[in-house]
Structure 1
Amino acid sequence: MTDLATIQPAIARALAKRGYEKLTPVQEAVLAPELRDADLLVSAQTGSGKTVAFGISLAP
């Protein structure tokens, strides 16, 4: 897992306030710089962080 320093600072602070300390593997994978502006179809176990990854990816 990767720490929150790799994402937008305002989003990282908001997530940290809610107890997030690190990105999950699925979040790390879909937020990789080389995938920016790509369309993705992600399938992963419930509770893996897909929804949070989607929200982070929409942040300016």
Structure 2
Amino acid sequence: MATLGNLSATYDGSPKSATATTTPAGLAVTITYNGSAIPPTTPGTIRSSPRSATLTITSVC
């Protein structure tokens, strides 16, 4: 599971990155902004797309 943070920011001309916290901790998450890895620097609405690069498979014997 991933919890996203820093999804709203006040415009000041500097890049604003979203954050992701995973459970369990330490899972890899990649966040893109309208398909780019570079955080936006312009005002407006940007679509953020988090993707987990970690697949966990649990088997019960």
TM-score by length of 1: 0.21
Q: Which has the larger share of helix?
A: 1
Higher RCO, 1 vs 2 (CA within 8 Å, ≥6 residues apart): 1
